[in-house]
Amino acid sequence: MKTFCSNILLCFVLLFSLSVQAKEPDWTLYESLLKEYVGSGEVNGITLNLVDYSTLSTDSRFINLVRQLAEYPVSNLNTREEQLAFYINAYNILTLKTVVDNWPLKSIKDVGSWIRPVWKLDAGKIDKQMISLDEIEHEILRPMGEPRIHFAIVCASLSCPDLRTEAYKAETLDQQLDDQTKIFLKNPDKGLKNAGSKMRVSKLFDWFSEDFGAEGGVQSFIKRYLPADKRTLDGYLDYSWRVNGY
C-alpha cells in the first residue's frame, strides 16, 4: 500500500511539473526565414548582416510567422529568460514586418512622422493585443534589467546590431547575448573603434547609458568583454539609419 501511494504521489508530481513547464513558441519557421533572407554584406563601409526585404515581402511564410506571434499566449512564459527571449524575437519580427509593410524605403524612420515616429506606431499583435516597438523595448525589455538586449534587438538600420540568424531561446539566451555583444564590440564600423589610447563606441551606449549602471557604467561593461583593452572612452561613432537591407 505504501508503494502504491508513493507511485500515485510521483505521478501527481510529474503531471504538475509538466503542466508548469515552459511553453516557448516553436521558432522553426522564424529560423528558416532568417537563414534564407539574412546574409553578410557591406554597405557604406559598414560590415553587417543584410536582410533581403524585397524577397521576404513576397514570402507567404512571413505572414504565417506574424500570425503565430499574434496568437501566442504570453501567459505561457514562466521565467525571465523565456520572457526576454520571446520579446527580443517579437521586437525583431515586428521590425521586419514594419519594413516589409512599407517596402521599398530608405530608412525605417521614414515610416511615421515627427509627431508620431515609427517606434510609437502599432507594429503588430502579440497575444491578440496591438503593440508598438516602443512598448516592447521601453516598457517590457528595458525594465527587466538586461543591458545586452541592446545588442540583440535590431532597428532595421546599418548601425544597429546584426540580426542574428537564429531565434533567441531561454536555454541558450545568456550565451547568445554574450555572443551578440562580442560581435558588436568587435565591429569597428558600428560597435567600437580604437584610435591610439582612445576608443569611440556606438551611440547605443550614449542613448542607453543608464542601462549599464549595474555593470559599473559603459567603460566597465566594455572591459568585461575586452579585458585587455586599456583605452578610454572618447566619444561616439556616427549612427546610420539607412535600412539594413535591399
Give 125-148 pLDDT, tens digit per residue.
Answer: 999 999 999 999 999 999 999 999
pLDDT at 23: 80
Q: 3-state class of 50 per DSSP?
A: strand
pLDDT at 11: 42
pLDDT at 238: 98
pLDDT at 12: 43
> What long-range pairs does 228-231 form, CB within 8 A, spacing at least 24?
229/194, 229/199, 230/197, 231/194, 231/196, 231/197, 231/198, 231/199
How far apart CA 246 and CA 242 sit, in angstroms, is 11
The closest of 165, 196, 204, 201 to 186, measured between CA atoms, is 201
How far apart CA 125 and CA 133 sit, in angstroms, is 11
Burial class (CB in 10 A: 0-12, 13-18, 19+), 43: middle
How far apart CA 205 and CA 191 sit, in angstroms, is 10
The label of the residue with cell 556616427 reads: 238
Is the distance from CB of 163 to CB of 49 less than 8 angstroms?
Answer: yes
Q: Which residues, given as ranges, of the chain have pLDDT below 70?
A: 1-22
- Report the chain's C-alpha Rg in angstroms: 20
How far apart CA 103 and CA 131 sit, in angstroms, is 21
pLDDT at 3: 54
Going from the C-alpha of 219 to that of each of 72, 142, 149, 158, 192, the distances in angstroms are 39, 19, 17, 24, 12
Give 51-80 pLDDT, tens digit per residue.
Answer: 999 999 999 999 999 999 999 999 999 999
HSE-up (13 A, CA, CB side) for residue 46 = 26
Domain-wise residue ranges, the chain? 21-236
